[in-house]
């Protein structure tokens, strides 16, 4: 969300007023505009504190005026969804979100406030944000979005829970409290200046309900400039679809998804949840500390993997909470073990890296022999060779050898200076080639003469 005020403060028109923001129900509107009315304040003077004001705007060429609620400053403009207002709130009165998708995706649901702060500091680069705030203060055109909710571990009274901006709140709290810095071992943060600390004692916040700003959060973190990891995205999409009842297609349209990312993330999470409920897989038993959810949601888009777990690709099968047929749940459990391993059984994952291992697994699963090899616990490379068959492996090896030798031949004049080891290697290659050719010739002797290849 960007914008600037270039008009003279207090002037009746602002040809340079740009109000940006296509998320959260706000249309993008760009000047020049005539300001028909500004009921609460005039445009701020240079250096004046930023604030919310309502402007009734109209392009000279458009009859119908538009009411826009913006936070205006000499350095930027931030949109506020229609019907919502900005206020200034002490960080002490703001609480971290227990239902934050970043935390629930890691199994930290319903953690205490101190545990959430520790998780944010440890896993989400709050230090970088804190360093920026310590140097520059809070960018007040970027408000927090808060909702009045009752914490699961915070008594019966509703408090202001930060729905959007938990990292920023964590950075502010750490800069203001030496005790919190000691708790999370953030002892290397620089001390904020007195003026910065003063600016952090009241933060811009917009009160709302969760279901009022899901488009803004989705745009920003699922398909926008500050993207979450794949599992956090999937958790958020599932909440919007399952709890708010928004169709997946509408979610995709609202956040600008043109690559079926919303559907693929949702399907993968529902398949994983289904497997855990049926006790065929448990992500807590994964081999590595990090859970590479992207392996699953990417792999479920591949033909061989889809066929193995019985996941159809037709649109009618998308959006269900149980995408895997009951008869294929065991196969899906095996797939998850190949993707993520099982530390309880000391089984490392077959997919070490998404590229190229995921494609290789998909290829192996496209043949019955490859499936059998994988189910017997053979290594991925062995299973792939079995899936390919000796005839294909031989063909690929010979074509690859020919290509490599052609490259070597083109470099003999400039690259060979009489080194004995290179000459010896070339002789070994010649012997191997003659041996292969002799075996082929011997096998051809049993074929009819008219189909026997000629030796050149």
Q: What does each of the 456 residues of the chain score in pLDDT, given as a tens digit? A: 333 332 223 333 333 333 333 333 333 333 333 333 333 333 334 333 333 333 333 334 434 333 333 333 334 445 555 667 788 999 999 999 988 877 765 555 557 899 999 989 988 889 988 998 998 888 777 789 999 999 887 678 899 999 988 999 999 999 999 999 999 999 888 888 888 988 899 999 988 888 877 877 777 777 666 777 888 889 889 988 998 888 999 888 877 787 788 999 999 999 999 999 999 999 999 999 989 999 999 999 999 999 999 987 544 445 789 999 999 999 999 999 999 999 999 999 999 999 999 999 999 999 999 999 999 999 999 999 999 888 888 998 999 999 999 999 999 999 999 999 999 999 999 999 999 999 998 888 877 765 555 555
> How far from chain centre, in Å, is Cα 246?
21
User: Distance (Å, rounded) from C-alpha 387 to C-alpha 390?
Assistant: 9
User: Distance (Å, rounded) from C-alpha 301 to C-alpha 296?
Assistant: 9
Q: Give me the pLDDT at residue 16, please.
A: 33
User: Distance (Å, rounded) from C-alpha 35 to C-alpha 65?
Assistant: 9
List the domain boundaries for the chain. Answer: 13-83, 88-214, 228-366
Residue 361 parent element (H or E): helix 359-364
Range 149-154 contact pairs with CB under 8 angstroms and sequence separation of 24 or more = 151/95, 151/98, 151/113, 152/98, 152/110, 153/98, 153/110, 153/111, 153/112, 153/113, 154/95, 154/113
Residue 451, token pair as written in the block: 């189909």
Q: Give me the pLDDT at residue 137, please.
A: 85
Residue 81 contacts by C-beta under 8 Å, 6 or more apart in sequence?
24, 25, 26, 69, 206, 208, 212, 213, 216
User: Distance (Å, rounded) from C-alpha 104 to C-alpha 144?
Assistant: 20
Residue 422, token pair as written in the block: 């290179």
Cross-strand bridge partners of residue 33 = 14
Range 397-406 contact pairs with CB under 8 angstroms and sequence separation of 24 or more = 398/436, 405/429
Q: Give me the pLDDT at residue 96, please.
A: 94
Q: Give me the pLDDT at residue 213, please.
A: 77
Other residues' Cβ atoms within 10 Å of the Cβ of residue 10: 11
User: Distance (Å, rounded) from C-alpha 167 to C-alpha 96?
Assistant: 9
| Interior angle at CA 301, CA 298 and CA 302, nearest 5 | 100
Q: Give me the pLDDT at residue 105, please.
A: 57
pTM, two decimal places: 0.63
User: Distance (Å, rounded) from C-alpha 225 to C-alpha 58?
Assistant: 30
User: Distance (Å, rounded) from C-alpha 116 to C-alpha 400?
Assistant: 54
Burial environment of residue 48 by CB neighbours within 10 A (0 to 12, 13 to 18, 19 or more): middle
User: Distance (Å, rounded) from C-alpha 198 to C-alpha 181?
Assistant: 18
- Whether the CB-CB separation of 96 and 160 falls below 8 Å is answered with no
Pairing outcome for strands 51-58 and 66-72? antiparallel
> How far from chain centre, in Å, is Cα 351?
19
């Amino acid at each position: 969300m960007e914008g600037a005020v270039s008009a003279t403060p207090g002037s009746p028109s602002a040809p340079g007023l740009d109000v940006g923001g296509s998320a959260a129900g706000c249309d993008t509107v760009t000047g020049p505009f005539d300001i028909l009315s500004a009921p609460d304040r005039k445009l701020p003077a240079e250096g004046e504190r930023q604030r919310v004001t309502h402007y009734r705007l109209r392009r000279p060429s458009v009859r119908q005026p538009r009411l826009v609620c913006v936070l205006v400053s000499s350095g930027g403009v931030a949109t506020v969804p229609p019907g919502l207002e900005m206020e200034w709130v002490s960080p002490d009165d703001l609480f971290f979100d227990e239902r934050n998708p970043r935390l629930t995706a890691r199994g930290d649901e319903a953690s205490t406030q101190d545990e959430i702060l520790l998780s944010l500091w440890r896993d989400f680069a709050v230090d970088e944000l804190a360093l920026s705030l310590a140097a520059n203060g809070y960018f007040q055109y970027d408000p927090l979005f808060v909702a009045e909710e009752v914490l699961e571990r915070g008594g019966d009274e509703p408090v202001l829970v930060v729905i959007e901006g938990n990292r920023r709140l964590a950075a502010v709290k750490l800069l203001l409290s030496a005790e919190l810095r000691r708790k999370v071992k953030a002892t290397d943060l620089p001390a904020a200046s007195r003026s910065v600390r003063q600016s952090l004692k009241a933060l811009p916040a917009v009160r709302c309900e969760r279901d009022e700003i899901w488009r803004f959060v989705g745009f920003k973190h699922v398909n926008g400039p500050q993207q979450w990891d794949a599992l956090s995205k999937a958790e958020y999409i599932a909440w919007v679809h399952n709890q708010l009842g928004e169709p997946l297609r509408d979610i995709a349209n609202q956040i600008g998804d043109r690559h079926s990312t919303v559907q693929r993330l949702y399907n993968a999470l529902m398949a994983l949840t289904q497997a855990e409920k049926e006790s065929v897989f448990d992500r807590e038993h994964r081999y590595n500390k990090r859970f590479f959810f992207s392996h699953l949601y990417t792999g479920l888009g591949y033909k061989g993997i889809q066929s193995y777990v019985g996941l159809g690709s037709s649109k009618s099968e998308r959006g269900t909470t149980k995408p895997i047929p009951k008869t294929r749940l065991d196969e899906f459990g095996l797939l998850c073990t190949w993707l993520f391993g099982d530390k309880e059984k000391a089984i490392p994952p077959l997919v070490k890296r998404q590229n190229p291992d995921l494609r290789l697994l998909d290829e192996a699963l496209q043949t019955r022999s490859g499936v059998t090899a994988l189910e017997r616990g053979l290594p991925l490379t062995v299973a792939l060779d079995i899936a390919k068959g000796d005839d294909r492996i031989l063909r690929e090896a010979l074509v690859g050898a020919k290509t490599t030798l052609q490259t070597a031949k083109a470099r003999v004049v400039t690259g060979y200076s009489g080194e004995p080891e290179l000459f010896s290697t070339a002789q070994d290659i010649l012997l191997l080639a003659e041996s292969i050719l002799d075996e082929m010739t011997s096998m051809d002797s049993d074929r009819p003469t008219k189909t026997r290849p000629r030796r050149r």
